[in-house]
Amino acid sequence: MALVTAAAARAVASPHTTGWEIVRRNYTVYKSSWLVFLTGFLEPVLYLFSIGIGVGRLVTGFEFNGQVVSYAAFVAPGMLAASAMNGAILDSTFGIFFKLRYDKVYEGVLATPMRTIDIARGELAWSLMRSAVYSAGFLVVMAAMGLVSSWWALLAWPATWLIGFAFAGAGMALTTFMKSWQDFEYIQLAIVPMFLFSATFFPITAFGGVLRWVVEATPLYRGVTLTRELTTGAVTVDSLVSVVYLVAMGLVGLTVASRRFDRLLLS
């Protein structure tokens, strides 16, 4: 009998929590607003039709890594990467801020055997799954429109996970420092310029000198370049730079977020 109670006590003391519970919780919450979920898929597709095709008729094709691609085929991977970023940022900033400061969801979660790292991991996993559904849909649209020219494009799907991971990690870490909704202006101030200038709508050659160097160092540019290399089949060893960059960014974000959760929720 003593053996049984000891085992039970140990099971409580070191539970196998992974963060999966957070994913299930979010799924339950989102189930009721499925239309919001569904329409989230539309935004990048509309941008692709408008800018890629509508404006594309006014623009000449671009040369990318030595091959000429149509404007729509050029913009499409940009939209793919940008929507992975937007989805990850939306979930990891507004969503988490609300749960942290208003809903007090995590205080409830921590009253269970779950730890702060489980929260960070669970939220990250959820936002990755959500954006993975969107980007899979977008890639199918791209393929159907003939905007994909290589089998490497299959790898563009996991590439969007990396983009989501990087931005969700960073967004979550930054959110833990936010004091009020007004602070989110700063996030917009970082996101919108990246969306517009990271070689999403026009090639990097539009910039010269230091400016080009700055753009090349932004995370969205790395994401856009990576997905564009994959969908056009212009993959080189240099593509790995983008991969390493995005993974590192996500890992740093995740670690910082988890530490900050410790300070905000456990002290």
Dihedral of alpha carbons 250, 251, 252, 255, sign: positive
Minimum CB distance to another protein smaller for 16 or for 57:
57
Residues 43-102 that bind another protein (CB under 8 A): 43, 46-47, 49-51, 53-55, 57-60, 62
Cα dihedral: 168, 243, 137, 90 (round 10): 20
Cα–Cα separations (whole angstroms), residue 182 to 85, 94, 95, 195, 260:
21, 11, 15, 21, 20
Number of residues binding to another protein, judged by CB under 8 A = 32
Torsion sign across C-alpha atoms 42, 46, 47, 52: positive
Shortest CB 76 distance to another protein, Å: 15
The 10 Å Cβ neighbour count of residue 69 is 21
Give 137's Cβ-side CA count (13 Å radius): 17
The amino acid present at 81, given as its one-letter code, is: A
Pull the structure tokens for residue 187.
Answer: 């996030």
Residues in 203-242 that interact with another protein by CB under 8 A: 203, 206
Of 71 and 161, the one with the shorter C-beta distance to another protein is 71
Residue 54 CB, nearest approach to another protein (Å)? 4
**Judged by CB, which is closer to another protein: 162, or 215?**
215
If binding is defined by CB under 8 A, does position 167 make contact with another protein?
Answer: no
| Token pair recorded at residue 104 | 């007090």
Closer Cβ to another protein, 97 or 197, answer by number: 197
Residue 21 or 43: the one with the smaller Cβ distance to another protein is: 43
| Listed ranges 30-38, 115-123, 127-135, 161-169: which one lies at the site for another protein (CB under 8 A) | 30-38
**What does the block give as tokens for 4?**
């049984």
List of residues contacting another protein (CB under 8 A): 33, 35-36, 39-40, 42-43, 46-47, 49-51, 53-55, 57-60, 62, 182, 185, 188-189, 192-193, 196-197, 201-203, 206
